[in-house]
């Protein structure tokens, strides 16, 4: 049975990805900062392990317990909804610690095992904001753009050992608590001169009819993991695909 480890399974996409791979007969290592089985099936094919992607000891312990892995999904991430002038730089550093260095560190930790097997897939969850920029998300967008660049360069060295690396770029999904979680961790005090601009932008984003569903993200991850020929960058969701078209880009 193939085995997959997913980060950030306490909620949202990570939890849905874990459930899907389990339903398809995979062995699933569902990791999260504070382990809880809630929202996940009770099964001898599903193990919940603690993993904070910003903590080296936590990564080492989780990878040691996980056993041989056929796939890794770096899904853990945090948002920062604010204009640059409202963004605290210490918190911006936290965003990069989780979204960029966290994914790099977990990837680095699984590589020896995958290299020994000469196979494996690593899927990094990025965002469609890296296809078409949006305001009030500059720090977050920069972190995901760094994740894209990392993944595309790393994929060339991993391919030497039969290991694939891929990106999934979801659009905006109101089905998860991503915005609420980002605001509660990073705050959202918008400086007064930007207030109406930011309010109008988020109102228009919320009223946009094209959204991304959790199912679309799960399907894109499934394809990235199971199809050797899956594109390097897959847009997930109607809004993400529209962004690609409007920027004159195709999935590559």
Ligand X SMILES: NC(=O)c1ccc[n+]([C@@H]2O[C@H](COP(=O)([O-])OP(=O)(O)OC[C@H]3O[C@@H](n4cnc5c(N)ncnc54)[C@H](OP(=O)(O)O)[C@@H]3O)[C@@H](O)[C@H]2O)c1
Interface with ligand X, residue 47, by CB under 6 A: no
Under rule CB under 6 A, residue 12 binds ligand X? yes
d(CA 143, CA 156): 21
DSSP 120-140: EEEEEE--GGGTS--TTBHHH
Active site residue 140: yes
In the bound state with ligand X, the residue whose beta carbon lies nearer, of 27 and 127, is 127
Any contact of residue 7 with ligand X (CB under 6 A)? Answer: yes
The token duo for 142 is 């920069």
Active-site hit among 13, 21, 26, 140:
140
Contact pattern from residue 76 through residue 115 relative to ligand X, giving x for each residue in contact according to CB under 6 A and a dash for the rest: xxx-------------------x---x-------------
What values do phi and psi take at 167, rounded to 5? Answer: -115, 140
Instruction: Examine residue 29 and tell whether it contacts ligand X (CB under 6 A).
Output: no
Only one residue has tokens 């095992």, namely: 113
Query: Restricting to residues 186-215, which ones interact with ligand X according to CB under 6 A?
Result: none
| Options 3, 33, 91, 132; binder of ligand X; rule CB under 6 A | 33
Token output for 60: 């080492």
With respect to ligand X, which residue has the nearer C-beta, 49 or 163? 49
Under DSSP, is residue 30 helix (H, G, I), strand (E, B) or coil?
Answer: strand
Binding status of residue 75 toward ligand X by CB under 6 A: yes
Integer CA distances (angstroms), 35 to 40, 63, 130, 215, 243, in order: 11, 15, 31, 24, 36
Please, are residues 197 and 204 in contact by the beta-carbon 8 Å criterion? Answer: no
Q: Which of 5, 6, 8, 154 binds ligand X (CB under 6 A)?
A: 8
Q: Which residues are catalytic?
A: 140
């Amino acid at each position: 049975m193939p085995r997959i480890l997913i980060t950030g399974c306490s909620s949202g996409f990570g939890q849905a990805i874990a459930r899907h791979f389990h339903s398809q007969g995979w062995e699933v290592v569902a990791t999260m900062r504070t382990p809880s089985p809630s929202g996940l099936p009770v099964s001898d094919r599903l193990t919940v392990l603690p993993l904070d992607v910003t903590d080296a000891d936590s990564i080492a312990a989780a990878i040691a317990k996980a056993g041989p892995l056929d796939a890794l999904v770096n899904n853990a991430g945090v948002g920062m909804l604010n204009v640059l002038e409202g963004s605290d730089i210490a918190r911006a550093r936290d965003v990069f610690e989780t979204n960029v260095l966290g994914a790099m560190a977990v990837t680095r930790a699984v590589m020896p095992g995958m290299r020994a097997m000469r196979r494996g897939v690593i899927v990094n969850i990025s965002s469609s904001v890296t296809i078409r920029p949006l305001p009030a998300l500059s720090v977050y967008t920069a972190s995901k753009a760094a994740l894209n660049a990392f993944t595309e360069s790393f994929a060339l060295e991993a391919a030497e050992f039969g290991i694939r690396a891929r990106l999934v770029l979801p659009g905006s999904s109101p089905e998860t608590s991503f915005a609420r979680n980002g605001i509660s961790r990073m705050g959202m005090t918008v400086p007064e001169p930007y207030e109406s601009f930011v309010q109008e932008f988020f109102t228009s984003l919320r009223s946009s009819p094209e959204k991304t569903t959790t199912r679309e993200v799960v399907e894109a991850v499934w394809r990235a993991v199971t199809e050797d020929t899956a594109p390097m960058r897959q847009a997930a969701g109607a809004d993400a695909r529209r962004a690609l078209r409007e920027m004159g880009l195709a999935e590559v």
